[in-house]
């Protein structure tokens, strides 16, 4: 209740505060953010907040257009230059910023726009991948699934496509396709990326999964981690990590890397929790997610897999 009242008061007095700061600094809010905040999440989060709270109709239209472009996944290497130039031009005009007097502003602001709407586009792409159901008649899907097996069990050939061997890497039954229903192709792509890009970390987790006392279903847990990673991406919590690690337009690779970190850390968290059985999975995952959210509340947070475990 108190928080809502304060939000209303802040919104009401926001124009007065901005006017006062503009008069005393001779800079608009966006300039103060771009010059005063460190690059990455602190700056990009500030710029997005400022743009979305703006009462200027041209700024509102700009934000709306960028939202539409990101939802449609139109921002690409080929198109982003024109999109960024238009965004920068709009803000320079609306805020009456002289680009000659402030040559660094355009570059700093443009980078923030790239990160902000690249992130929203990444959310849209992940949702699309999640909605693609695993199809055993699709050769591409089948090859990706077999690739996962070969990455995790390189010295153990599959006896057949449908076999109990799949349970050795944590699937529920003889045919893994049914386990991807919730997260679709995104869940499989995450598992493959982790095993391919961080083989030592993935092998480390797979070994823990067959622990006689604290073992768990590797693939099923991995798919649950996909669900968690996507949840953090959707609600914006993951912005801190993505903004701090992306040098250019965030791509699906950024999500895969975020997922890989979560999987590796959850494996350690699970073993350290010393669960009695898999029935404790939900409560332990909730605690783990809470620790991740707390870490991401710090705008300087960057997640990296332990270098002593894998070379990144």
- 274 pLDDT tier (thresholds 50, 70, 90): very high
- 4 pLDDT tier (thresholds 50, 70, 90): low
Mean pLDDT, rounded, for 40-55 = 96
53 has a pLDDT exceeding 90: yes
Mean pLDDT, rounded, for 234-253 = 96
| Three-state SS sequence of the chain | CHHHHHHHHHHHHHHHHHHHHHHHHCCCHHHHHHHHCCCCHHHHHHHHHHHHHCCCHHHHHHHHHHHHHHHCCCCCCCCHHHHHHHHHHHHHHHCCCCCCCCHHHHHHHHHHHHHHHHHHHHHHHHHHHHCCCCCCCCHHHHHHHHHHHHHHCCCCCCCCCCCHHHHHHCCCCCCHHHHHCCCHHHHHHHHHHHHHHCHHHHHHHHHHHCCCCCCCCHHHHHHHHHHHHHHHHHCCCCHHHHHHHCCCCCCHHHHHHHHHHHHHHHHHHHHHHCCCCHHHHHHHHHHHHHHHHHHHCCCCCCCCCCCCCCCC
Mean pLDDT, rounded, for 106-132 = 97
User: Is this prediction's pTM over 0.85?
Assistant: yes
The reported pLDDT for the residue numbered 21 is 41
Mean pLDDT, rounded, for 109-135 = 97
The reported pLDDT for the residue numbered 26 is 54
The reported pLDDT for the residue numbered 16 is 46
1 has a pLDDT exceeding 60: no
The reported pLDDT for the residue numbered 17 is 43
Q: Most confidently modeled of 21-25, 123-127, 210-214, 275-279?
A: 123-127
Mean pLDDT, rounded, for 59-80 = 96
Lowest mean pLDDT among 21-35, 65-79, 182-196: 21-35
The reported pLDDT for the residue numbered 225 is 98
The reported pLDDT for the residue numbered 12 is 52
Mean pLDDT, rounded, for 115-128 = 98
Q: What is the overall mean pLDDT for the chain?
A: 91
* Percentage, residues of the chain above pLDDT 70: 90
């Amino acid at each position: 209740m108190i928080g809502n009242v304060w939000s209303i008061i802040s919104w009401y007095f926001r124009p007065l505060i901005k006017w006062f700061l503009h008069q005393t600094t001779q800079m608009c809010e966006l300039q103060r953010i771009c010059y005063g905040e460190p690059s990455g999440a602190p700056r990009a989060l500030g710029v997005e907040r400022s743009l979305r709270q703006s009462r200027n109709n041209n700024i509102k239209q700009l934000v709306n257009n960028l939202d539409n472009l990101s939802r449609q996944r139109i921002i690409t290497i080929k198109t982003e230059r024109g999109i960024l130039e238009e965004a920068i031009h709009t803000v320079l005009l609306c805020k009456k910023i002289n680009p000659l007097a402030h040559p660094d502003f355009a570059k700093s602001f443009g980078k923030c726009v790239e990160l902000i709407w690249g992130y929203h586009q990444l959310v849209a792409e992940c949702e699309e991948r999640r909605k693609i159901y695993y199809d055993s008649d699709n050769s591409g899907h089948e090859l990706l699934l077999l690739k996962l097996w070969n990455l995790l069990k390189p010295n153990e050939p599959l006896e057949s496509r449908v076999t109990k061997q799949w349970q050795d890497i944590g699937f529920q039954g003889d045919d893994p396709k049914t386990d991807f229903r919730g997260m679709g192709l995104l869940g499989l792509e995450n598992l493959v990326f982790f095993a391919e890009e961080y083989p030592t970390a993935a092998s480390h987790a797979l070994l823990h999964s067959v622990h006689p006392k604290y073992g768990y279903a590797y693939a099923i847990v991995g798919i649950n981690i996909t669900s968690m990673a996507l949840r953090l991406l959707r609600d914006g919590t993951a912005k801190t990590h993505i903004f701090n690690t992306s040098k250019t337009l965030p791509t699906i690779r950024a999500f895969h890397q975020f997922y890989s970190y979560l999987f590796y850390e959850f494996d350690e968290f699970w073993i350290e929790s010393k669960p009695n059985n898999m029935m404790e999975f939900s409560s332990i995952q909730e605690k783990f997610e809470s620790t991740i959210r707390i870490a991401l509340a710090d705008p300087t947070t960057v997640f990296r897999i332990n270098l002593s475990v894998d070379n990144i």
